[in-house]
Amino acid sequence: MSPHSIPPAPAAYRTLDTNGIRSFLAGVPTLAARLGGPAARWRIREVSDGNLNNVFLIDGPAGGVCFKQSLPHVRVDPAWKMPLDRTFYEAAYLREIRPCVGALTTDVLHFDPDLFVLVVESLDRHVVLRRGLMEGGAWPDAARAVGAFVAHGTFRTSLLAAPFEEVTRRLDIFSGNRTLTRITVDLILTDPYRDHPRNHWISPDLDRIAAEIRTDPRVRRRVGAMQARFLTCRQALLHGDLHTGSVMVSADDTRIIDGEFACPGPIGFDCGLFIGNLLLHLFACRDADGQDRAVRDVAQFWTSFHDTFLELWHTATRQDGNGDAYAAALFRDDPSGLLKAQADFMQDVAEDTIAFAAMEIIRRIVGYAHVPDFDTIPDMAARAERQGTALALARDLLAAPGSTTSIAGLIDLARDRARRYP
């Protein structure tokens, strides 16, 4: 991690245990009323399963809430100190995005700026999509819902939908999310392409492909360009950590959670992270049906994102829009010119998506934080072989960007390479 000073925690900050959580919730009338009954009857259980924060679900006689608190360090590595402001950004993101995406995410019920506590709706009927996929479940609506989420959230926070004063005011706030953006820059965009002690992989069988990825000059050029793209292309407000662990699903509902990495950036970053995780799942699938579903999910996510985004754009243009980029006035007498401009825009998003998907695949196999999807393959040599195939696909996508420029092309290539496994 690059050196940066960590501001001291506010004097009032303390990490709450279950007793502390109970009295904290009892002290906020709206939350106490939502839970109902006497506080002593509330059931509190820890569900933290990520790297960063404490997360608890609390059930009362009347309802439930989800309690999330930042710690002054990485949850799974107390030696890795970290400022507390990540729940502030998650709360701010939810407040910005909720009016655009409706019930595809959760309501902020409360934020405490001294304790860095965020309380949101409890999704206790839901499971985390990654787990649901690993257990072989079919979630036929999830990918489409995530595509709609990205389309609404990014379109509405982009210069296509609003004047630059409004857009930049919002993006400037999230430019302050430097702690977690630094993690993205280091862990996703940099570490796998250099020797770094945080990098690790499951088998020496992957040494060669990991070294090829680090040393291929074509990969370096493309990665350098994507680093610049991530840091300079303030296209919209991103979720910033949109993997299958940031989506919760039930039989009839999909919610996107965990927006603490929210930052300005290229729309293809959110799309690429989600698709990258679906492709990781594809390479970990043990049966042909699961593979078919993974491929279908990539296609449905992209179609949903693409079509919803363009629909929003057409509607804004018809209503004379008020965005300062691709301003409606430019195309009033030139509808075919607008169609062409839109196609070019979406092509750029697709190409960003493919590159960021490849980088997500790479960092989730040889970087710091791996995905558990491959844990379902008991034989380590078989697991490493699948990971090697996924890494080779990602390497090829970065080394020869011109060879796959559409999501349909990406799907064909991935399906072809994964076909040998089930």
Q: Which helix (H) or strand (E) holds 153?
A: helix 142-156
71 binds ligand ATP (CB under 6 A): no
What is the closest distance, in whole angstroms, from the C-beta atom of residue 171 to ligand ATP in the complex? 22
Per-residue mark of binding to ligand ATP, 258-297 (x: CB under 6 A): x-x-------------------------------------
Among 238, 246, 228, 285, residue whose Cα is nearest residue 369: 246
What residues from 169 to 198 belong to the interface with Mg ion (CB under 5 A)? none
Among all residues, whose Cβ is closest to ligand ATP? 50
53 binds ligand ATP (CB under 6 A): yes
What is the closest distance, in whole angstroms, from the C-beta atom of residue 333 to Mg ion in the complex? 47
What residues from 26 to 85 belong to the interface with Mg ion (CB under 5 A)? 50
Unique residue bearing structure tokens 């080779």: 392
What is the closest distance, in whole angstroms, from the C-beta atom of residue 415 to ligand ATP in the complex? 28
Residue 122, contacted partner among ligand ATP, Mg ion, none, CB below 5-8 A by kind: ligand ATP
Judged by CB, which is closer to Mg ion: 54, or 304?
A: 54
Residue 132, contacted partner among Mg ion, ligand ATP, none, CB below 5-8 A by kind: none
Task: Using CB under 6 A, count the residues that bind ligand ATP.
Answer: 22
Number of helices (H), then strands (E), belonging to the chain: the values are: 14, 12
List 85, 121, 191, 258, residue binding Mg ion (CB under 5 A): 258
Beta strands in 115-235 (DSSP E): 117-121, 127-128
Measured distance CA(363)–CA(200) in Å, rounded: 10
Judged by CB, which is closer to ligand ATP: 86, or 222?
A: 86
List 52, 237, 393, 399, residue binding ligand ATP (CB under 6 A): 52
Strand 77-81 relative to strand 108-112, pairing? unpaired
Strand 77-81 relative to strand 73-74, pairing? antiparallel
Measured distance CA(224)–CA(148) in Å, rounded: 30
As a residue count, the chain comes to 422
Question: Based on the number of CB atoms within 10 Å of its own CB, is 367 exposed (0-12), middle (13-18) or buried (19 or more)?
Answer: buried
List 120, 189, 358, 414, residue binding ligand ATP (CB under 6 A): 120
Residue 317, contacted partner among ligand ATP, Mg ion, none, CB below 5-8 A by kind: none
Q: In this structure, are residues 274 and 410 in contact, taking their beta carbons and an 8 Å threshold?
A: no
Residue 232, contacted partner among Mg ion, ligand ATP, none, CB below 5-8 A by kind: none
Q: In this structure, are residues 410 and 398 in contact, taking their beta carbons and an 8 Å threshold?
A: no
184 binds ligand ATP (CB under 6 A): no
Residue 123, contacted partner among ligand ATP, Mg ion, none, CB below 5-8 A by kind: ligand ATP
Among 313, 299, 298, 318, residue whose Cα is nearest residue 343: 313
Judged by CB, which is closer to ligand ATP: 245, or 272?
A: 245
List 128, 183, 213, 350, residue binding ligand ATP (CB under 6 A): 128
Q: In this structure, are residues 421 and 283 in contact, taking their beta carbons and an 8 Å threshold?
A: yes
Q: Which helix (H) or strand (E) holds 174?
A: helix 164-175
Residue 300, contacted partner among Mg ion, ligand ATP, none, CB below 5-8 A by kind: none
70 binds ligand ATP (CB under 6 A): no
Q: How far is CA 244 from the centre of its chain?
A: 8
Which stretch in 116-124, 156-164, 264-272, 294-302 sits in contact with ligand ATP by CB under 6 A?
Answer: 116-124
57 binds ligand ATP (CB under 6 A): yes
Q: In this structure, are residues 56 and 49 in contact, taking their beta carbons and an 8 Å threshold?
A: no
Among 257, 264, 110, residue whose Cα is nearest residue 176: 264
Q: In this structure, are residues 357 and 294 in contact, taking their beta carbons and an 8 Å threshold?
A: no
Judged by CB, which is closer to ligand ATP: 96, or 258?
A: 258
List 34, 35, 93, 106, residue binding ligand ATP (CB under 6 A): 106
List 21, 66, 294, 399, residue binding ligand ATP (CB under 6 A): 66
> Which token pair is 113?
């700026």
List 28, 32, 44, 47, residue binding ligand ATP (CB under 6 A): 47
Measured distance CA(248)–CA(123) in Å, rounded: 8
Measured distance CA(223)–CA(19) in Å, rounded: 47
Q: Angle 415-416-420 (CA atoms, 0-180°, nearest 5)?
A: 100
- Interface ranges with Mg ion (CB under 5 A): 50, 258, 260
- Interface ranges with ligand ATP (CB under 6 A): 47-53, 55, 57, 66, 68, 106, 120-124, 128, 245, 257-258, 260
